[in-house]
Structure 1
């Protein structure tokens, strides 16, 4: 019953502690219990006072509310706010259950739980629980590849927590940056993370959990942009922060991020050991999506080390876990990397069969109208570029130079818009070699020059100065 009253107040623009809403609540509860105004008022107040209160013409004092709550058999908080006793604690327990559902099951199933919790938190004006539900919903939408919806959820969390200390907003900022990264907006993802790091430093808010989350999240866009030195520095800072962080999920994420910088430095054994630590933590926490990411990265490690059989095994395990969770975008990205391993193992037809369903001719359209199973400019742009690159190699191997050029140019467009300098130089070399072999020397020179432009200053970006290093 209290929930209905809160919803009515919300529709009329009144808050749950508005005098008119409190008056309606007192009237409703009194009627339900069959009490007269005199019975409710005595001995401390008059029937006239109760009548005035019920009409919303007076704001009751705390003493009056406590007297009325006692007579009505409800808690002071429930009468004052319309929230049933222990509602916030109950919602927090259900939020934990929803998080568990996301960790172990399909994101759309968990999303339904978070939406219901958000509606209930809104009905009772519980801002903190609203923010927690939206944060969980944003994570669900990230997994299912609904990137625009995910960004909207994280932005709404930031608005709800606008008056809270910045570290409270960091998980939402990290989520929004991840959504932009998956969309292909690498530079903007870096801007969000770096500007937040600078803001934390300027305010002297050196919260270890917040800093670890931000430094770990920045590694992926740095690597894709070719800013390897900056990524390595972020990894060093994350490692230094880890002993001060008690959340095992944050520490596991740190190990997974650090592994990527170790791979780039050729420290394969150390990268695999870092991933093994992350994997063990995720297994203990029953977080299946992140466990799949560890298998995914271990597959990449084995591929870099030339062990293609083990790489295929790890990538197939990752794909199986992600597909069972219906984590569409991540499944598609793993399939691109699995296709690369299959091509290198001589199983070109299998690789091509994996890649073609992932791409459409709508790469220019972005996220709008894009269905599941379609990588492109607005959804997994870096991996879409990788898929075109692989199809170009396959076309070259069977002598289809026209098809190869078409795929290389599509990949070049996607990667240039994403600022994915880490892959652009190699792609420009492939395109230049193809153009040279077909007699188009000037065009080949242009492709090589473009590639050299991305190779000219290894490890640099156009991002400006790196964030200030916090005191450790």
Structure 2
């Protein structure tokens, strides 16, 4: 049934409940034939006529439009607000439950925008719980619907990000390029720069550094043109990633620290924590002598992530970076504790991060002289990496695994894994 059919049916139902004829409802402002056409769905009443009919029928305009009373609409909006608040406060399981319960409310069926808001909130809550496959399913279902331009970009950002987190890099690229890669690109805005940042991360992880460098320059120009903090953060961070990938370490840290400074002044707590964690990880790679500074940043980020709607992937990633910091500092017991803490937060959908956690555990056990444990963790690294498609990130993990095997004295095995790393990198 069309919207006009449903509106007409509700008017007819309430009129009969009130014991009125079409002529009685119409008099004196309307004709009874016009009311008949409205009730049959052959005419769409204007907002003024709808408001008049609601007054005559002694019912809410909301009911005639959506099939829910004003009180029911208020309850739905209140429930949606509580679910969003739970997500923002980091109560991700409660948020997931609240969004799910709201979607089960039959009164939401005819409220397209509110239902889409609820489904999008559920997707974010499910992602935060670590169920990336379910988040993808919800977002793809939303993507197939008729959405507002703002909602379509928001869904694309989330879907591109979740595909990347689940190591489905080609799918992540497709989602971003569907909006930004066409012959006629929409005018840049904050949300489109954010989508561009998400797409660029997929380029980087897949090893398409040429496209990443070109796109990073476009984003910097777009951010300069917009002059907004949100666009600046995305652009500076992307510039940092590209600079690091091309061997300009100190330049990359400079870009990253600028992004963090802007985010700290204007951003949401979750995003501040995420970028703080990323800057600390970059410091560990580029400036390992500053390991204690990086470790303090990671500990602060971990505390911030625990108080926000951060996903389990974010929290696990923070623990893995802390494990890396402990290894650099020579505190192997601490590295093992953080490595296991990171693993406990993962659900099996982020295979690359699982492999990274096992790799760090292997290094920590090897440094302690526990060869059997170290080899067991290396075996787990291979199991997690084997099903993944070739990418720059996966190649670097294979290479690190080969180095660890060589350290443990498995020269023959390390040669095979070095070859796997080179093949993965396309060399």
Fold conserved (TM > 0.5)?
A: yes
Who is 1:409 aligned against? Answer: 379
Stretch deviating more after TM superposition (116-125 or 418-427)? 116-125
Who is 1:368 aligned against? Answer: none
Where does structure 2 lack aligned partners over 5 or more consecutive residues?
Answer: none
Task: State whether structure 2 residue 15 is matched by structure 1 residue 26.
Answer: yes
SS of 1:417's partner is coil
Q: Is the 8 A contact 1:296 1:314 kept in 2?
A: yes
Shift of 1:338: 0.5
Provide the rounded CA distance (Å) in 2 between the counterparts of 1:439 and 1:14. Answer: 69
SS of 2:186's partner is coil
Task: State whether structure 2 residue 345 is matched by structure 1 residue 373.
Answer: yes
Provide the rounded CA distance (Å) in 1 between the counterparts of 2:73 and 2:224. Answer: 32
Query: Which one scores higher on RCO, CA 8 angstroms, separation ≥ 6?
Result: 1
Q: Is the 8 A contact 1:134 1:156 kept in 2?
A: no
Q: Is the 8 A contact 1:88 1:129 kept in 2?
A: no
Task: State whether structure 2 residue 57 is matched by structure 1 residue 72.
Answer: yes
Q: Is the 8 A contact 2:130 2:346 kept in 1?
A: no
Count of residue pairs brought into register by the alignment:
419
Q: Cα deviation per residue 1:30-56 (whole Å; 9 max; x = unaligned)? A: 37xxx7877545346799998x799x6
Q: Cα deviation per residue 1:161-208 (whole Å; 9 max; x = unaligned)? A: 26x66x75232122112112222223332333234433xx23x24231
Mapping for residues 267-346 of structure 1, pairs under 5 Å: 267-285=248-266, 287-303=268-284, 304-306=286-288, 307-325=290-308, 327=310, 328-346=312-330
Provide the rounded CA distance (Å) in 2 between the counterparts of 1:455 and 1:140. Answer: 34
What TM-score do the two structures reach when normalised by structure 1? Answer: 0.73
Shift of 1:294: 1.6
1:152 alignment partner, one of 121, 137, 151: 137
Who is 2:210 aligned against? Answer: 229
Where does structure 1 lack aligned partners over 5 or more consecutive residues?
Answer: 1-12, 360-371, 458-472
Instruction: Name the CA shift for 1:76/1:344 in 2 (closer, same or farther; >3 Å).
Output: closer
What TM-score do the two structures reach when normalised by structure 2? Answer: 0.80
Task: State whether structure 2 residue 162 is matched by structure 1 residue 173.
Answer: no
Shift of 1:245: 4.1
Q: Cα deviation per residue 1:261-295 (whole Å; 9 max; x = unaligned)? A: 23334444543443344434444445111111121
1:393 alignment partner, one of 363, 366, 379: 363
Q: Cα deviation per residue 1:46-86 (whole Å; 9 max; x = unaligned)? A: 99998x799x6675663875653342355667535446679
Q: Cα deviation per residue 1:331-373 (whole Å; 9 max; x = unaligned)? A: 11110110010111111011112213444xxxxxxxxxxxx62
RMSD, aligned CA = 4.0
Instruction: Name the CA shift for 1:265/1:137 in 2 (closer, same or farther; >3 Å).
Output: same
Provide the rounded CA distance (Å) in 1 between the counterparts of 2:4 and 2:174. Answer: 39
Provide the rounded CA distance (Å) in 2 between the counterparts of 1:89 and 1:188. Answer: 39
Q: Is the 8 A contact 2:394 2:424 kept in 1?
A: no
Q: Is the 8 A contact 1:104 1:288 kept in 2?
A: no
Shift of 1:426: 5.7
Who is 2:195 aligned against? Answer: 214
Q: Is the 8 A contact 2:398 2:418 kept in 1?
A: no
Q: Is the 8 A contact 1:16 1:125 kept in 2?
A: no
Provide the rounded CA distance (Å) in 2 between the counterparts of 1:93 and 1:279. Answer: 34
Instruction: Name the CA shift for 1:244/1:103 in 2 (closer, same or farther; >3 Å).
Output: farther
Provide the rounded CA distance (Å) in 2 between the counterparts of 1:119 and 1:137. Answer: 12
Q: Is the 8 A contact 1:216 1:234 kept in 2?
A: no
